[in-house]
Amino acid sequence: MKKVLVIGGSGFLGSHICDKLTKKGYKVFVFDVINSEYLCDSQEMILGDILDKKILDDAISKVDYVYHLAAVADIAEAMNNPLKAANYNIISTLNILESCVKHKVKRLIFSSSIYVYSEHGSIYKTTKQACELFIQDYKILHGLNYTVLRYGSLYGPRANKFNFVKNIIQEALQTGKITRKGDGSELREYINVIDAADLSVKALDSEFENEFLMITGNQSRSIKELINIINEIFGNELKINYVKGSYKGHYKLTPYVFKPNIAKKLVPKNYYDLGQGILDCIHNEHDLLIEDGVNIKNFDVNNEKI
């Protein structure tokens, strides 16, 4: 049985990738600083910080493949604390690369971002670009195979507090409003985390060795379109407010104009429908808020009281 380490496997995308790998028959080791809420019986949890070289090295010594998903991924957090971002995004990746070479790992699958294409993204983008360059250097110097996955805008179950779709759905449920800086014209290619996890596992296929892959949605949608979809599901009962300002460091258009290595776009046979995906998110966030004892508004969602 092939063994895979998923670094950051307790998180939003990571936990779904662990699920998919287990279903595919891999022995999965989940490495994270917190225990996974979604751990399967056949999976093994390894608690540790990605800057702890010994624990990390011991974990990598057990496996054939490594997924590296852990990072300071919030743009604002990276801008406010660039030293932390550099340590957790760049130094940790170098430690992982060293251990992968030492233990003859067959391939490193690295979680990057389409922000590497953009003039925006600030410190976060810079750290991801640096990691991609180091990964290519380790292939040249040490023969370490890799696949780089550049993700777009993810949404879906298990999203964390930094996820835009989760946050506006929670705002709608709690206040009956959605407030957004700007005019909503920014474009994103939203992809459900279920699709993203499927494609992330497919990236293990030999044809994607030493490739750069984009994992995004099948069409561009403006943020205004997304908010309108949510409002329609809520029976057009939400109050939508667009206010002056912008979100520092974020791109306005899906950024395919910068000049890193050109990536292939990896697509599923059938994308998760955005409307259905958003409806599922609304029900999921509703249930989570109820579990947490949070007061929420009453709405008719698709003719169903929630």
pLDDT in tens, 88-129: 999 999 999 999 999 999 999 999 988 776 666 679 989 999
* Residue at 73 is within a domain: yes
Name the 3-class secondary structure at 70.
coil
Q: What is the DSSP letter of 271?
A: P
Contact 150, 112 (CB under 8 A): yes
* Residue at 15 is within a domain: yes
* Residue at 249 is within a domain: no
Which parts of the chain fold into alpha helices (H)? 12-23, 53-60, 75-80, 82-85, 92-102, 122-142, 164-175, 193-202, 223-233, 274-291
Contact 164, 173 (CB under 8 A): no
pLDDT tier at 306, thresholds 50, 70, 90: low
Report the candidate in 18, 15, 92, 85 with the shortest Cα–Cα distance to residue 49.
92
* Bridge partner residues of 241 (DSSP): 179
- What would the mean pLDDT of 189-208 be, rounded to a whole number? 96
Main-chain dihedrals φ then ψ at residue 216, nearest 5 degrees: -140, 180
Report whether pLDDT(259) > 80. no
Residue in this structure with the two tokens 């599901």, named with its chain if needed: 233
pLDDT of residue 168: 95
pLDDT of residue 249: 44
Distance between first and last Cα of the chain: 45
- What would the mean pLDDT of 159-178 be, rounded to a whole number? 94
* Residue at 225 is within a domain: no
Give Cβ neighbours of residue 221 (< 8 Å, ≥ 6 apart).
187, 188, 189, 190, 274
* Residue at 127 is within a domain: yes
* Residue at 182 is within a domain: no
Report whether pLDDT(257) > 50. no
Of residues 239 and 254, the one with the higher pLDDT is: 239
**Total domains, the chain:** 1
Give Cβ neighbours of residue 142 (< 8 Å, ≥ 6 apart).
101
pLDDT of residue 266: 79
Report whether pLDDT(250) > 70. no
pLDDT of residue 133: 96
Report whether pLDDT(302) > 90. no
* Bridge partner residues of 66 (DSSP): 5, 108
pLDDT of residue 298: 78
Range of the domain at 27: 3-155+191-216+261-265
**CATH code of the domain containing 151:** 3.40.50.720
- What would the mean pLDDT of 211-222 be, rounded to a whole number? 90
* Residue at 300 is within a domain: no
Listed range (21-30, 77-86, 154-163, 256-265) with the worst mean pLDDT: 256-265
* Residue at 34 is within a domain: yes
Report the candidate in 263, 254, 227 with the shortest Cα–Cα distance to residue 153.
254
Span 37-50, pLDDT tens digits: 999 999 999 999 99
